[in-house]
Amino acid sequence: MVDAWGLRFFLLDENDGLWRVSQRVAQELITGRTRLPQFASKRVRAVDAYVTLDARKPVRLESARGSYWNFDKSGRWFLPRSARGLIMDTIDFAPPKEGNVVPLSEFSKRLLKSRERWKLSPHEITLIVHAIWPEQAGRPTKLPPFIQGNRERKPPMTYEAKNARSELSDHVFKASLIIDRLSPPSLKALVADLDDQEPDDMLELWRGIADACRRKLAIEQARRRDKGEWRAEVEVIRWEDGRHGRVGQSVFSESVQTTSRKAAVKAGRELLKKHADHFDTDCTVEVNLLTGIEWERRGAPDSTSETE
């Protein structure tokens, strides 16, 4: 049986108390449907724990990554302005220079990581392990409680709202196609023009388009460079017959972090060899190359190995 992987969320309060965060609460925090008043106006340490699953039960901790969750005065989760737009306030189209000179965009990325990430200590990793597998503590251990939030009731969708969403979806899709076909110089020019937009009733919409352009520009810039963080990822997909054709579900993935595109290609070939036995009549084995920016944006787990 092919193993899948799952994600467990935790919060550490200012007294090092550990709290479990359910998938539902985590999702509703991101969408703004749930607030945590107990963390109002605070910056809280969070842990994303990636585990391998066997028959839907966690059997191995693959990685534990520390980040900060920021809450406003009402307890709503928000993303700091410094973290928006994938650090694209300044874009440098020149290739990376040798020596100790670091391109400004790379410097900004490292600075952001230092502000928005934190490294778990061995003690904190042990707390996470015991929260997932309390029997490994060797003594009676009380599981950390689930964090409880104030859930805001979602108003029912009206007929008018459903029609509006359908119409807007068409326009958003068309906008994404327009952005995807722009070259990097055109993306940069469009962002600069939108940033100079005069305040009006459409300003927030234009800002959203500018952020989408920044994200696209960051990915394009990273993909033009042979050096830098590249990832090779293998994914095993199981296919089933659905109502409207074949439906695929990812059941396993593994990645390797490298320091160049060439090394990532080599690592991808090795991953294909390693997992070739998973290929079957109902399973495909696919390999993708991702830049560090694309990987970070996906919120994917840290790779299981690294190579030069």
Exposure on the CB side of residue 272, measured as CA atoms within 13 A: 12
Tokens of 168: 């807007």
pLDDT at residue 56, rounded to an integer? 75
CATH of the domain at 299: 3.30.1280
Are 145 and 22 in contact, with CB atoms under 8 Å apart? no
Q: Are 196 and 290 in a shared domain?
A: no
Q: Are 43 and 135 in a shared domain?
A: yes
Q: Are 83 and 196 in a shared domain?
A: no
Cα separation of 98 and 118, whole Å?
28
**How are beta strands 245-260 and 305-306 bridged, if at all?**
parallel
Query: Residue 272: pLDDT above 60?
Result: yes
pLDDT at residue 298, rounded to an integer? 67
Query: Residue 304: pLDDT above 80?
Result: no
Q: Taking residues 23-49, report their average pLDDT.
A: 90
* Phi, psi angle pair for 21, to nearest 5°: -120, 120
As to burial, measured by CB atoms within 10 angstroms (0-12 exposed, 13-18 middle, 19+ buried), residue 117 is exposed
- pLDDT band at 93, cuts 50/70/90? very low
Q: Are 172 and 43 in a shared domain?
A: no
The whole-chain average pLDDT of the chain stands at: 82
Q: Residue 16: which region, alpha, beta or left (left: phi > 0; alpha: psi -120 to 50)?
A: left
Tokens of 163: 């029609």
Q: Are 78 and 208 in a shared domain?
A: no
Q: Are 166 and 97 in a shared domain?
A: no
Q: Are 129 and 209 in a shared domain?
A: no
Q: Are 187 and 249 in a shared domain?
A: no
Q: Are 134 and 262 in a shared domain?
A: no
Of 99, 132, 151, which one is at a domain's C-terminal end? 151
Number of domains in the chain: 3
Are 238 and 202 in contact, with CB atoms under 8 Å apart? no
Q: Are 115 and 79 in a shared domain?
A: yes
Q: Are 190 and 271 in a shared domain?
A: no
Q: Are 206 and 252 in a shared domain?
A: no
pLDDT tens string 168-193: 999 999 999 999 999 999 999 999 99
Eight-class DSSP state of 75: S
Of 117, 151, 185, which one is at a domain's C-terminal end? 151
Q: Which domain holds residue 203?
A: 159-223
